[in-house]
Amino acid sequence: MAEVLSQGASGFTCPRFGGAIWEHDGGGSTSFECRIGDRFSEAEMWIEHCATRNRAILTAARALAENAALARRIAASAERRGDAAVAARLEAEAQEEDRLYAQVRAMVDGLSEDDLDGTA
């Protein structure tokens, strides 16, 4: 291991578990280490951080798709018991979820196969 010349808060979070991560300047090579000992070179940090970003985008897509489906399920219940106002409001919510999902879906589609390796 290279001698650590200086270290400090990096302003980033550990891509594995989300805690603070410190930057170690070893003179020519910077590395990152979190409180529980995850250690990354700059290149590893970049790769791990991209994977974290991809998971976040996929999680957002899933949450939006599920929210739209749930709103429609509850709207159908409301319809069955004759509550047209609630049914209409939930259908409007579902359409808003669909609109947001389409935006996130475009982001998912913009990720390359390489980006998605190991993240699904």
Query: Using an 8 Å Cβ cutoff, are 62 and 40 in contact?
Result: no
The residue within the footprint of Zn ion, chosen from 16, 53, 55, 89 (CB under 5 A), is 16
Query: With respect to Zn ion, which residue has the nearer C-beta, 13 or 67?
Result: 13
CA dihedral 83, 85, 89, 94 (to 10 degrees): 40
What H or E segment, with its residue span, contains residue 31? strand 30-34
**Least CB distance to Zn ion at residue 41 (A):** 14
Cα–Cα distance, 14 to 38 (Å, whole number): 8
What H or E segment, with its residue span, contains residue 118? none
- Size of interface with Zn ion, in residues (CB under 5 A): 5
Cα–Cα distance, 85 to 4 (Å, whole number): 64
**Least CB distance to Zn ion at residue 13 (A):** 8
**Least CB distance to Zn ion at residue 26 (A):** 19
Query: With respect to Zn ion, which residue has the nearer C-beta, 22 or 93?
Result: 22
Map the footprint of Zn ion across residues 29-58, applying CB under 5 A: 34, 38
**Least CB distance to Zn ion at residue 82 (A):** 53
**For binding to Zn ion (CB under 5 A), which residues are involved?**
14, 16-17, 34, 38
